[in-house]
Structure 1
């Protein structure tokens, strides 16, 4: 399986247009209330993961009647529902690329958790495989080295975020850096593509790269 889509429980107002319009192809895994939203759209998830504390008894019964593979966790746990869903994919579909929808909107603490979870050592194998997409943002994660990304249609801005000290080079963006020593967590926001691709390199940590639009 080349790609697995995860739908987390973030508000529908933050979904990208293609998801709202039902134009996202490929298998889905529902994460907590995201499972119910998939069923409402006529999509049968290949699995459902979460503690399901955000659905009522009638809604959970619908999930049970629709989804064959349900992994219900105790609400008191060490990992979030999204993290447990990532662990499920690592176990059952280790080669798959992962696209996460519904990761933003609503509570700020949940957004921070979703973005920062890729810094955890247990998810190191997924760093280059995870993309997060919402109505205004396209987010990816990278390990040290030289990388090139392609501009996503409709996105204007480019941001590079480090959480630990690193040396960062931005080769061909609107604002360039040459082996710049970044000593503290920094968001190099409001940069832009100068062509259809952008090239960058860094030597430590995990770099979060965000394409966005107003």
Structure 2
């Protein structure tokens, strides 16, 4: 499986990977490129308008990264969308892990979360995972799916994105049977009761969110 990791521009600690690994291809988005370099990783590609960097910081990126796509700040696609397009179309990723998607800003988070509904990306929905230090988000197309519990993530939520037909949760802690939602609906704080859980639906897109409460510092 060809995995591509994308680090978007958020420098916030909760948005960053818990462990940076150098054994996969990384794409740095805007300031995410600089963050990767600071963690000892030279991204395969840096992409964005780089308007969040100083001239000196951008020079550092250009001196270290072999391939850079710099675009005009006035554009139709977000920097993250450009990176995701490159991951699938240029690097032929079988799976993409996307980090740094919010930086604490809800508009950035929603832009990244909802881009999976765009037709050009929706075809790849099940190959995209969004990760921060408190959440793992996956996306699913219609059908029957089985997912596995992840150690440390207690909660399991199902978010219907648009009209979803016949959502069935047969073996989670809180069950649903053939639920029809004509509008987006969040079924939150469910839980695994076994190492795996099954669910199914017949139309639309569903986001599945693994989440956990961060320990409070004493």
Q: Per-residue displacement from partner, 1:36-94 (whole Å, max 9, x unpaired)?
A: 00011110000001110010100000000000100011100111100000111122122
Q: Distance in 1 between matches of 2:93 and 2:55?
A: 35
- Deviation at residue 11 of structure 1 after TM alignment: 3.1
Tell me if 1:162 matches 2:175: no
SS in 1 for 2:63: helix
Tell me the residue number matched to 1:2: 2
Q: Distance in 1 between matches of 2:96 and 2:53?
A: 25
Tell me the residue number matched to 2:115: 117
Tell me if 1:179 matches 2:178: yes
Tell me if 1:84 matches 2:82: yes
Ranges in structure 1 where 5+ consecutive residues have no aligned partner: none
Tell me the residue number matched to 1:198: 197
The counterpart of 2:34, out of the listed 27, 33, 36, is 36
Tell me the residue number matched to 1:207: 206
Matched-pair contact (CA < 8 Å) for 1:164–1:185: yes
Q: Distance in 2 between matches of 1:118 and 1:17?
A: 21
Tell me the residue number matched to 1:69: 67
Following superposition, which runs of at least 4 residues in structure 1 exceed 6 angstroms of deviation?
Answer: none
Q: Per-residue displacement from partner, 1:82-139 (whole Å, max 9, x unpaired)?
A: 0000111122122421001111332110000010000000112311100111010000
Matched-pair contact (CA < 8 Å) for 1:140–1:209: yes
Ranges in structure 2 where 5+ consecutive residues have no aligned partner: 214-218
**TM-score normalized by structure 2?**
0.93
Tell me the residue number matched to 1:53: 51
Relative to structure 1, the CA distance from residue 4 to residue 95 in structure 2 (aligned partners, 3 Å threshold; closer, same or farther) is closer
